[in-house]
Structure formats: C-alpha cells, structure tokens
Chains A and B, each alone.
Chain A
C-alpha cells in the first residue's frame, strides 16, 4: 500500500460546484434527428472514410478506418442511414470545419454483430490493434490514442487510474466510478496486463467519498484506491503521478519513461466494453450543468449536436454562452450545432452570475501570487513580462513550454491579467517563428547545396580536362621515340595531307550535281545536239564564223 502521499507545489481551491450534478445518475440521452460524427476523433489523426452517402449502417459499424500511427477507427453511434459526408464545424474554440459523417438514425439502435475479444489468446499486438479499431482514445479530454499510450508493454511498473476529476462542475467520472466501478477495474486489469504493470493505483479527489467507497469495494486487493487532496489541478496527469508516486515527469517526457502510466477511468471503462463485449466506443458520459434547471449526467452518442442535449438540462434564461469542459481549462463553444466528441466531458451553461466578466486588467505588481499557484513551479509573471516585451527567447529560457495552461495563475492574479492568454500567444509566436526558421533553413540548405553542386561539377569538369590533357601528353611522349627522326615524321604528315586532299576532291566530284542529270531522252537528245553544234563551232576555228544569225 501507499505509505504516504506526495504533494505538488502550487494549485488552487476554486469552489467545486460538484453537488449540482453529482447526485444525478447516468441516463441515456435520446438520439437526435441527425448524428454528426467527425472523422477526426483522436489527436492529430483523421480516419479514412469507409462509407458512402445512402449507405445503411448498424450501431458500432466502422465508418472510418485508422489512418497513420496516431489514428483510431470511428464508428456509427447508432443504426441508420448515412445522409451526407461533409465538412461541419467541430467543438473547438476556432469553430473550424472537419470532415464528418452525418447519420440519420432509424430509431432501432441495432448493434452490429460483436463478441468478446480474448486478449490473452490474441496476444499483445492484436489486442492493441483491436483497441485501435474500437476507437479507444483517452477520455480525460486529450483523446490521445490508448493503443499508442500502452507503449512497449514493459518497463512500466505502475498503472495509475485517474479518477481525480479536479475541474469544478464536472461529475461524469464521479458518476461512472459510483455506478460502474467493477467495469472500470476490469478494464484497468486489461490495461495493466498490456503494459505489464505490477501495481494499480486509483487516484480520486477526496471530495468524492461515494466514488472512493465504490471503487474500494470493487477493487478489493487488486488495486490501491487512494484519496488525494482536492486541489486543482490534482487531476493533471503529471500532478497526479507526482502525488501518488513522488515522480516528477518533466516537459516532453512521458510517464512510461519513468515507469508509470496513467489512464482516465472513463478510458478504462471503454477498454472493458471493447474487450468484454467487443463494443467500439460510440458513446460517453457527459455532465450537463451550470445555469440549468436540471443538471445531470448523460450517456451521449458521439456525434449528438450539443443543442439537442441542452433541452435535457433546461438552461436558465440568463445563460449567455456554453462552455465545453470545466471553467479552468474549457472553452466557450463558438456555436451549438457542434457535435459531442470523445473529448466532451462536460457542457456548462454559463451565466454572468456564475462566471462574471473579469474586472479590467491592471498593471502587474510582481506580487508573486501566480508563482505560488503555479503547479509547474514556473514564474508566470516573468513569462508575462517577457511575452509582453516579445522577448520570446527569454520566455523559452524560463521554461514557457512547461506551462500546462491550467489557469491557476490567471485565477489568483489580483491584477486580473489573462496570463494564460499571454502564454498561448507566446507559444504561438514561437511556433510560427520555428516554422519560418525551418522554411528559411530549408531554403538556405537548398541554396547552399546548389552552390555546392555547381562547384562540384566545375571541379569535376576541370579534373576531366586535366586528365585528358595528361593522357594526350603522355601518349605523345610515348609515340615520339617510336616515330624515328623529325623529317620522316614531316614527310608522313605531308603524304597524309595530300591523301586527304585527294579524297576530298574525289568526293566532291562524285557528289557534284548537274542540272543535266535525270532528263527525259528527248531533252537529252536536244542537249546533245546543242553540245555537238557548239563543239563543231569551236573546232572550225578560233576566229568567229559568220553565221546567218550574226549577219546584220
């Protein structure tokens, strides 16, 4: 068992607001008129579309195949007809479009044939492929493909199940742990076998006593269920690993490098469904809360437009926007026709009363509150000053990229500076500069290579000429003694020239074309007659002979 808990520095304790929705059991959300299923359901990878408009699909049928190393499959969330395959806005702050399969449900919700997957018989690689083809990604919000995260299958000693759920308002993992603890742990057992971990630790924030009790009852001696102090962001992967094991995983490193791997409880549940029932991931639990009459937790088909969900919770009249995710790291939905995706853990109806607009920004007085709150142990105000001065190199030196954008600094800042926005800006500028620099480097390399190639060709040419000249010289040097004395050589040359001239003359004679060739016999006869007359005239005397033509 765990002897003691470690702690991470910083962190904040915002009002949890869990009680609004924590009491509501998970219920299935009704199917909407149309499901919009993005083909991009895992980080940085879009699935290859497998269906065509008009095609009938069953629930769980694969409609997108995993493409690339980070790809996962995408499935029809219910039975129905593919209406269209078109770009639709996605649940992202930008509201940019992504390619989606639009399915009209037939209402039967008929499953495709599926059966349990014997992962022990199939072996590790086949199991990972099965999870990929079941569309299993991390349900904590990052949607990182689980089959990739399961890694090499060795060298990881500890598997951590993340049930911390530290963001205010969100209760989907809490409900899942209360209601489906055994399934979660069965999924965790599969994950544990796949990564070859010795121990399994479940970390749950101590403000969820029911979930802790349920998980402890289900776990028995199989797992250590640990209550961690409720301190945002305790559910951050690196923070939870730190609290439970004392290991600090630096920026750019993965838990696996330090012998520990972390999965969300929802992911473990999805793994259980994929192995024990062969079900792909076609729905997830979403918390609907905030300024609503009936907060709750719903099992929602992936692709359900968020506006179709909202009526379930009955938003209050003062709602002015909707947040996806928690208030610390979530974002305001740019529009409501965007679909629920695998990352959608919570939709909060925001009102000015719940989330008042921030007071105007004031000057930074370097009070250091942000540094005390930062779980990455950064000096956010220094990064802010560097970012403001566009001194991005210095910001990088001060570990800007270790910032996890948890928002603790902005939460505590007495000057109301949107620090995280400054850091996002700085990171974006640095990325843009890196891209520009890469492009410039590539151009310079091309230019330098061209110069190098030209130089090389010139050198090669010079070398060839030099070699030839040397060869000729050496040949001449060899021939000189063999050819005897110099006059003899001159005579030979003269003879050669004379012979060449003779050849040229002969050739000229043979090729000389006359206009008298190839004439008809009549014309030839006439010409012959003319020639004969001329010859006769020439022969008769040197003096001109008076002819009848010449008499005047």
Chain B
C-alpha cells in the first residue's frame, strides 16, 4: 500500500457473504426436515443460474470475472431467491428469477454495491406479478414426498391445485372474507401450526437462529432486524388488541411467511437498505408496515418484497434526513 494505514483487519466482502450463507444453514436444515429436500434442488439450480448469469454479464461488460464470481454475493442472492420462492416452483421459474436478480437488478445498475433495489426482492416481485398462481402455491409440512417435489420442480408444468394449497397468510386473508369467519375459526384449518403455517414456523425458527449468528459475528447490526420485527409486532399487536376476531396476533405475523427470513437476511442487505442507525430503524419499520398492510388488505400472499422495494426508493431521503451527529457537533444533519 502506498499510504497509511499499513495494517488491516483480516476481513473481506467474501467473508461477509460466506457468513451470511453459513447463517442460512440452520433455516435450510429445518426446511429440509419439515418440508422436504426439494429445496436443496432449488438452491442448486439457483446457485448455478446465478454464477452463470454473473459470468455472462461480466463478459458482456468486459469486467474481470474471477474477483466478482468469488465474492459470494451472487450466491447470497441465489439462495435468498430460492428460499423465498415456493419450494415446488418449476426449475425455469427459479432460473429466470435469479437471472433477473443478478443480471437485471444488480448488474444493470453497475454491479455489486451499486444497485438501489434488493435483487432478490426485485426478482420475487417480478415473478409474483408475472406468475401469480405458480408463486402462490406452498406445501405444508409432510404434504409432499421428495419424488413429487422433484417431479414438480423439474417437470415444469403440473396440475397445481391437486397437490398444493395457499400459505397460512393467504388462507387467513381469504378465509376471513367468508361471513361469520374469525381468526380463530380459520386458524383451526389444517394449514396452520402452533404459531404460523404448519411446518413453516420451524423454518422461521431456523432463520432466527441464523440471525442471532449474524448479530453475534457483527455481520449485521441490530437496528434492521429489531426495527422490522418490533414494527411488525407493534402494528399487528395494536390491531389484534382492537379486534382479535379480524386481525391475527403478533406471534402469528412474526412466525408466518417471510418475517424471520426478511428480518435477518433480506432487510439487512447493506447495499440497498438505509445505512444510518436511525435510518435503519425507519427503513425496517417501513418495510414491516407495508408488509402488514399487504398481508391484511392486499392481493398477494406476502408483502415483504413489495415493502422492501418501496422502502429502497426512500433510502436516499431516509439517509439524508437521519445523518448522525458528528463528533463535537450539535445537531445531527449535515449543515
């Protein structure tokens, strides 16, 4: 190095990304145990597609491929895409989504560090708008054996309603539209477990463990996950207390859908999230509020992806308005 400092902490972007991948493993393990090993096939498809897509666009952009391919960021995107998609989507849907995430949402904006939108969430939103039926079919625990899962993933087309159902969140929302329905009556249905969707609450617990790992290794700060989970609990809690017949409990919201994956692995994407401590809280709370609104009143089974994209748009403003106080200065904002 030409100039000071001449010493550096042994750290790298690659190490950050590998830590994130490692932290996903408990969730993946519980996923395999509860839902089935089909997810591993999806993860493999997504990983291959991400690396191939990254290599292709780096060649198109005439950029050196080795450093970018080995930084692990494409794999993180790929795994998040696979984990937030239903585990039985056909292979081409996963592939297409990952290519949109890596080549479109990431590289068209300039590559790692430059993208204003979370790539995995951009792919999720694109796909749920383009293929709402395929993207809304989630199996409950023990519903499908590995052979069936494999057949669904690799087969490409199928009779959807014969083997799968909607998510717990979706079931709840549609169930509540019936006359005389209440949260309690709908939750008695088979799709629900002790906290969230049957089987899925275990997966959420696995993500929570991974999140604790990320916090312990200082890969993420507490602001984003705590801001997200606290805001989700607060808003759902307030409505649940006001009308428990119409609104599900905070526990249900925290254990359902992508809440835990979102809290620790998705809103925490450093590139596209807010960066100041207060800004992170605002950003995460915004995502949680939008997600809750879509869960309760929207047309989609889950709202975190839309929440993330909408809040991504607000990040420059949030960051500007939440600049922390500088040492020795009174008042927080840049003057």
The judgment on whether A and B are partners is yes
> Is B242 close to A, CB under 8 A?
no
Asked whether A330 lies within 8 Å of B4 as measured between CB atoms, the reply is yes
Contact B113 A366 (CB under 8 A): yes
A420 x B4 contact (CB < 8 A): yes
Q: Do the beta carbons of A357 and B1 come within 8 Å of each other? A: yes
A424 interface hit (Cβ, 8 Å): yes
- B112 on the A face (CB < 8 A): yes
A327 is an interface residue with CB less than 8 A from chain B: yes
Known: A398-B334, A420-B4, A420-B5. A367 touches B16 (CB 8 A): yes
The tally of CB-CB contacts under 8 A between chains A and B is 138
Question: Which of A359, A366, A414 contacts B275 (CB under 8 A)?
Answer: A366
Q: Give the interface segment out of B97-105, B138-146, B154-162, B322-330.
A: B322-330
User: Residues of B contacting A360 with CB < 8 Å?
Assistant: 67
The answer to whether A402 and B327 touch across the interface, beta carbons within 8 angstroms, is: yes
Complex Cα distance A375/B326, Å? Answer: 9
Binary per-residue interface labels of chain A (353-384) against chain B in the complex, 1 for a CB within 8 Å, 0 otherwise? 00101111011111111011001111101100
Other-chain residue from A355, A359, A376, A379 in contact with B327 (beta carbon distance below 8 A): A376
Complex: A382 Cα to B316 Cα, angstroms: 11
Q: Is the CB of A365 within 8 A of B328?
A: no
Binary contact track A419-442/B, C-beta < 8 Å → 1, others 0: 011001000000000000000000
Residue A415, interface by CB 8 Å: yes
Q: Beta-carbon contacts of A390-430 to B below 8 Å, as 1s and 0s?
A: 00000001110010010100111111101011001000000
CB of A87 within 8 Å of the partner chain: no
Check A379–B276 contact: CB distance below 8 A. yes
- B329 near A365 (CB under 8 angstroms)? no
**Chain B residues closer than 8 Å to A405, beta-carbon distance:** 4
Q: With A366-B113, A377-B325, A379-B324 given, is the CB distance from A407 to B4 under 8 Å?
A: yes
Chain B 1-27 near chain A by CB (<8 Å), digits 1 or 0? 111111111011101100000000000
Q: Which of the 9-residue segments A7-15, A23-31, A140-148, A154-162 touches chain B?
A: A7-15
- Which of A193-201, A243-251, A519-527 lies at the binding interface? A243-251
Residues of B within 8 A of A368 (CB): 221, 270, 275
Taking residues whose C-beta sits less than 8 angstroms from the other chain, chain B's interface range is 35 or more
Q: Given the complex of chains A and B, what is the CA–CA distance between A475 and B8 in angstroms?
A: 93
Pick from B3, B6, B13, B275: contact of A415, CB below 8 A: B13
8 Å CB contact of B7 from A362, A365, A367, A411: A411
Q: Which of B8, B113, B271 has most chain A Cβ within 10 Å? A: B8
Chain A facing B: main interface SS: loop
Q: Shortest beta-carbon distance, A326 to chain B, in Å? A: 8
Question: Is A331 touching B3 in the complex (CB atoms < 8 A)?
Answer: yes
CA distance A357 to B2 in the complex (A): 9
* 7 closest cross-chain pairs (CB), A and B: A250-B328, A407-B5, A363-B113, A397-B334, A414-B11, A327-B6, A248-B328
Evaluate whether A238 and B327 lie within 8 angstroms (CB atoms) in the complex, with A363-B114, A365-B271 already known.
yes
Complex contacts, A362 vs chain B, CB 8 Å:
12-13, 67, 71, 112
Instruction: State whether B327 touches A93 (Cβ < 8 A).
Output: no
- Which residues of B sit under 8 angstroms from A325, Cβ to Cβ? 4
Residues of chain A lying within 8 A (CB to CB) of residue B67 = 360, 362
Q: How many residues of A contact B (CB 8 A)?
A: 62
Docked complex Cα distance between A9 and B114 (Å): 28
Residue in chain B with minimal CB distance to A17? B7
Please indicate the chain B residues that have their CB under 8 angstroms from the CB of A355 in the complex. 1, 6-7
Q: How far is the CB of B36 from chain A (nearest CB, A)?
A: 33
Contact of A93 with B328 in the complex, beta carbons under 8 Å? no
Which of chain A's residues have a CB closer than 8 A to the CB of B15? 414
The yes or no answer to A168 lying at the interface (CB within 8 A) is yes
A408 to chain B, nearest CB (A): 8
Contacts of A8 in B (CB 8 A): 327
B contact residues around A366 at 8 Å (CB): 113, 270-271, 275
A416 touches B12 (CB 8 A): yes
Contact between A328 and B4 (Cβ–Cβ < 8 Å)?
yes
- Of the A-B pairs whose beta carbons lie under 8 Å apart in the complex, a sample of 26, sorted by A's number, is A14-B9, A251-B328, A253-B328, A327-B4, A328-B6, A332-B2, A358-B8, A360-B67, A362-B13, A365-B73, A365-B113, A365-B270, A366-B275, A378-B326, A379-B275, A381-B275, A382-B275, A402-B327, A411-B7, A411-B9, A412-B11, A413-B11, A415-B12, A415-B113, A420-B3, A420-B5
- Report which of A9, A327, A397 forms a contact with B5, defined as CB distance below 8 A: A327
**Nearest-CB residue, chain B, relative to A410:** B5
Interface contacts beyond A331-B4, A359-B12, A363-B112: sample of 5 additional A-B pairs, CB < 8 Å, sorted by A: A15-B7, A367-B16, A379-B324, A418-B3, A420-B3
CA distance A410 to B67 in the complex (A): 20
Report how far A397 CA is from B333 CA in the complex, Å. Answer: 9
Q: Which residues of B contact A359 (CB under 8 A)?
A: 12
Asked if A275 is at the interface of the complex by the 8 Å CB criterion, the answer is no
List of A residues within 8 angstroms of B270 by Cβ: 365-368
User: Is the CB–CB distance between B1 and A358 below 8 Å?
Assistant: yes
Q: Looking at the assembled complex, report how far the CB atom of B156 sits from the nearest CB atom of chain A, in whole angstroms.
A: 36
Interface pair B326/A402, CB less than 8 Å apart: yes
Cβ–Cβ < 8 Å partners of B319 in chain A: 382
Tell whether, in the assembled complex, residue B16 and residue A399 are in contact, meaning their CB atoms are under 8 Å apart: no
